[in-house]
Chains A and B, each alone.
Chain A
Amino acid sequence: MKYYFLLLILMLPMAAMAQDTTRVRRFTGLVLAFIPQYSYRSLHYDADSRWLESMRDNEMPNTGIKARAQVRYRINDRIALLSGVEYANLGIKTRFEDLQWISEADNLPQKSRTIYRYKFLALPLHINYILTARDNLRVYAGGGVTTSVFLSRKTKVDLRDDHHASAKTVGFAKFSWSATIGAGLEYMVGQRFSIRAEPFIEHYFNSIVTDDHIREYLFSFGLSTGVFWAFKG
């Protein structure tokens, strides 16, 4: 995994340099994507902390979104690099649970759940590899790595009729790395305009929790939907 990562880093400045040394048009266009997704986490506890795992077995995946703008850089006919910026919002929630009250009072909420939202600003670097192309349709495999900067985690208490929230900006790994793989379709609608759809999974490979006894790795899966505009020649 580390080797793969390094390889991608090595490709980064290609965009800057190759432009100078060749006369080929390599920046071919702009990809804008809106990405509904589900996310969840995998937990790894050491022996001392394993008992904590059961405190979190009421958690389940929750919806979130990504929004992404990338420039497409052409390597050859089959391969393109996409690099740009991304906002990511990953959600995890607990199931609704009954609240116990010892005494009577008006309007006591009966159920509650907690929704966590991790927000990141990220630099995604992806590769698209065209598997096959026919008429206006291209089928491609995609993958890449993303460097994310943690912005905040919002905690929302949902009481069905009522809710309140708070946010924390510290206490989570400031930088995260994730790998994405997916496969997609790109359909050319006009000379310079295509639409894209790409199911994907993404896994973070460093723990969002910085404690020595617990590792918590986020992951998400969803459908990247987007458009591609070719730059004017």
Chain B
Amino acid sequence: MLFPLSQGYNTITETAMDQRQPLFTWKYFALSGLIATALLAFILTACNEDGLAHIDNTATMQPVLSEYQIFEGKPSALNPAAGFHLYELSTELFSDYAEKQRLVKVPSGQRLTPRQDDLPDFPDGTILVKTFYYYHDKRDTSKGRQLIETRLEIKSGDRWNVGTYLWNPAQTDARLVTSGLNKTVNWIDEHGIGKVISYHVPSNHECGTCHSSNDVIIPIGPKLRNLNTDVSRDGAVVNQLAYFQQQGVLGDVDPAQITALPRWQDTTYGLQDRARAYLDMNCAHCHRRGGFEDGDRLRLGYDTPLSDTGISGQRDNIIDQLSEGRMPLIGTSMVHGEALELIRSYIKSL
């Protein structure tokens, strides 16, 4: 069938007009060329953009966790092998109520060198280990736990390399995952309420986003001020820094000369101290100079004087961002209710 002209795109409004003018002119080609080049350049640069920091490892991570021989016996018992030392933080990162075990191993004969309140110097070959798990029933932890992932930081050639390992259902070993993934996790909390979440195992780009300082990976938790707390070891309560010196893991330092970061839940500390400790461990890795957000809006390190933090200018914004779950930018899938209460009271008190 022949195509009847008058019934194409030639609507009433068009027919009366002159259609013999040229469609393509030199101007058209010049402009097209320009736009096409600009768009192509843009596409090539934008293709890998995902709003996160991209910091490549300089050493290869083992494909399975057992290669590192971190645990002795059944892994789900979380018994550290020789050379791996348990450490605890006064204030921790909130990760959807996951429980965490943290370990450090320094090459034998070497020690962490203290640098005031800050991160110590780590010798090459140091391994930091953080295992995320949930108790099946938090009311009765003897009912066992479910290991989810074990994250590693390994210092090699003066660079930190990161990787996380997803535990298999049998809980016998864990495999390296670089791309991030979601996994349904359920447990019964301390109030007897069944919780079901879509747990997010972070990608390597996500690790780099929280752990970056001027575009290189650094550890976050084991600052001396965050380790300067009492822990129970071998049936006795001891200062953790003193204990590490005894164990030959840490160089000489007087705990009395080191700031002690408050435990944010500890109400014997003032509101300000507790809130600032929480913000330090949950926000400051991004919100500081050299961090991912680079301190443009907020500088939330515990040692930053209040007037330099930017908190007073962002009071409502901070509460909004937290209560709507938009901050922290990554690493949680729910609002940390208890902490929100604390931050709210703190902001109100300013």
Contacts and interface: CB of A to CB of B under 8 A. Distances in A.
Interface of A: 6, 9-14, 16-18, 21-25, 28-29, 48-49, 51-52, 55-56, 72, 74-80, 94, 97, 99-103, 105-109, 112, 114, 116, 130, 132-135, 138, 155, 157, 159, 164, 166-175, 177, 191-192, 206, 209-214, 230-233
Nearest to A228: B11
Contacts of A175: 43, 46-47, 49
Contacts of B175: 51
B4 to A, nearest CB: 6
Nearest to A231: B13
Contact of B183 (A21, A51, A55): A55
Contacts of B334: 164, 166
B187 to A, nearest CB: 9
Interface in B13-69: 13-14, 16-19, 21-25, 27-28, 31-33, 35-36, 39-40, 43, 46-52, 63
Contacts of B63: 48
B23 A22 contact: yes
B140 A103 contact: yes
A116 B192 CA distance: 28
Given A23-B17, A114-B198, A130 B8 contact: yes
Nearest to A134: B7
A157 B27 contact: no
B18 A23 contact: yes
Contact of A109 (B3, B4, B194, B329): B194
B196 A157 contact: yes
Interface in B164-186: 175-184, 186
B50 to A, nearest CB: 4
A108 B35 contact: no
Contact of A130 (B3, B40, B48): B3
B7 A133 contact: yes
A17 B27 contact: yes
Given A170-B330, A171-B205, A211-B205, A99 B13 contact: no
A167 B326 CA distance: 8
Contacts of A97: 184
A171 B178 CA distance: 12
B140 A133 contact: no
Given A17-B28, A169-B51, A102 B10 contact: no
Nearest to B32: A10
Interface of B: 1, 3-5, 7-14, 16-19, 21-25, 27-28, 31-33, 35-36, 39-40, 43, 46-52, 63, 136-137, 140, 143-144, 175-184, 186, 188, 192-194, 196-198, 200, 203-206, 209, 325-326, 329-330, 332-334
Contacts of B9: 28, 72, 74, 76-80, 130
**Among the interface residues A14, A17, A29, A169, which one has the most CB atoms of the partner chain B within 10 A?**
A17
24 contacts: A6-B36, A9-B35, A12-B32, A28-B13, A49-B178, A55-B181, A76-B9, A77-B8, A78-B9, A80-B9, A94-B184, A101-B136, A102-B143, A105-B188, A112-B184, A133-B3, A134-B7, A166-B325, A169-B326, A170-B329, A172-B51, A191-B12, A211-B178, A230-B11
Contacts of B11: 28-29, 192, 230
Contacts of A78: 3, 8-9
Contacts of B325: 166-167
Given A55-B183, A171-B206, 15 more contacts: A9-B39, A22-B21, A22-B22, A24-B21, A25-B14, A25-B17, A78-B3, A78-B9, A94-B184, A101-B136, A102-B136, A102-B144, A105-B192, A130-B3, A230-B11
Contacts of B46: 174-175
B22 A74 contact: no
Contacts of A74: 9, 14
**Among the interface residues A21, A77, A132, which one has the most CB atoms of the partner chain B within 10 A?**
A77
Given A114-B182, A133-B7, A171-B51, A230 B13 contact: yes
A16 to B, nearest CB: 7
A14 B13 CA distance: 20
The 5 A-B pairs with the shortest beta carbon distances in the complex, nearest first, are: A233-B13, A170-B51, A22-B21, A77-B8, A211-B179
